[in-house]
A and B are shown apart, each in its own frame.
Chain A
């Protein structure tokens, strides 16, 4: 590109090959050091599930976000960087318990989640609605109006529907158990098919 620069500059990068294995080891070490130094504001991993790949994200306080593939995991992480903190690393270890309990849930072996949850992405009435959802037992369903009433605002069933549709912790906080009064599934972050799959799973177990 520069005619008077003499011989073309050497490609020194060839003398410094970097392997995927080396980088993986360095990355794992960085995640561990960041965790013990208290610098890992958000740790994440992905797992495979019957409802597709799930992104799991946790703060030091607990699980803060579960995202379906349809939400675009990269997009979700970019949004969390702005909403919570850009100190985000792929650090599976913090999500080990979450991954294990979800695995047990999807095989039908688990009916309750016993995990620390971080609800900071939900506030006000939405947060109140999410707080009512664990009261709907495994394999049971409730209507949006019932959930709105339980959260203290019987007429706010539309807002209850929105709170469920925007649940940042789907599957673990069981918004899939809230259905329309006519029995049809209603809105769901992972799509109606995923919601029906979870309802069928619980009905069969």
Chain B
């Protein structure tokens, strides 16, 4: 009989991956919120998850919805300001590689999500298609187009 591992195991095993995905899809500022919302929703639904299910794909599916929710909520909260407020703590906590992060953020949403779910979460395109809708081939193309644009705007020669 397959028994489900304690939820704690999911948080320690997949917490870093979900945080990377949230940073790529929800943006750095809203990633923590998206991460918390994802794992809280996952904890709520965990007893009903079939034993033996693909846990990574399940978590990314939840993170996908939560990233959309938190970015929408942030957009509603946003008010125009004359000057950017100084926030050294946020600047320190920012991405190690601002250029790549900015290049990724500039991609159309579907390409950014396909890139994040394949290259950060490691999901196969079949699983990504189930999350984004459309076919596995369309998901593969979205990720390939996204990577091509990243290579164009970012010195991907550094990558081997």
Using a CB–CB cutoff of 8 Å, the interface residues on chain A facing chain B are 7-18, 22-23, 26-27, 29-30, 33-34, 37, 39-40, 42, 44, 77-78, 80-82, 85-90
Residues of B within 8 A of A40 (CB): 43
Cα distance A16–B40 when bound, in Å?
A: 22
B15 touches A15 (CB 8 A): no
A16 touches B95 (CB 8 A): yes
Interface residues of B in 33-48 (CB under 8 A from A): 35-36, 39-40, 43-44, 46-47
Residues of A within 8 A of B101 (CB): 15-16
Cα distance A9–B115 when bound, in Å?
A: 10
B36 touches A87 (CB 8 A): no
Q: How far is the CB of B16 from chain A (nearest CB, A)?
A: 4
Is the C-beta of B20 less than 8 angstroms from some C-beta in chain A?
Answer: yes
Among candidates B36, B44, B100, B151, residue contacting A15 with C-beta atoms closer than 8 Å:
B100
Closest B residue, CB atoms, query A81? B6
Among candidates B7, B11, B150, B159, residue contacting A8 with C-beta atoms closer than 8 Å:
B159
Cα distance A152–B144 when bound, in Å?
A: 74
A15 touches B95 (CB 8 A): yes
Q: For the complex, would chain B's binding face be called helix, strand, loop or mixed by DSSP majority?
A: helix
A87 touches B97 (CB 8 A): no
Residues of B within 8 A of A15 (CB): 95-97, 100-101, 104
Cα distance A118–B110 when bound, in Å?
A: 49
Q: How far is the CB of B102 from chain A (nearest CB, A)?
A: 10
A13 touches B40 (CB 8 A): no
Residues of B within 8 A of A9 (CB): 119, 147, 159
Closest A residue, CB atoms, query B4? A86
Apart from A15-B104, A86-B7, 10 more pairs, CB < 8 Å: A12-B100, A15-B97, A16-B23, A16-B95, A37-B44, A40-B43, A78-B5, A85-B47, A86-B4, A87-B47
Given A8-B159, A78-B3, A86-B5, does the pair A23, B36 have CB atoms closer than 8 Å?
A: no
Q: How far is the CB of B75 from chain A (nearest CB, A)?
A: 23
Q: How far is the CB of A169 from chain B (nearest CB, A)?
A: 19
Q: How far is the CB of B42 from chain A (nearest CB, A)?
A: 10
A22 touches B19 (CB 8 A): yes
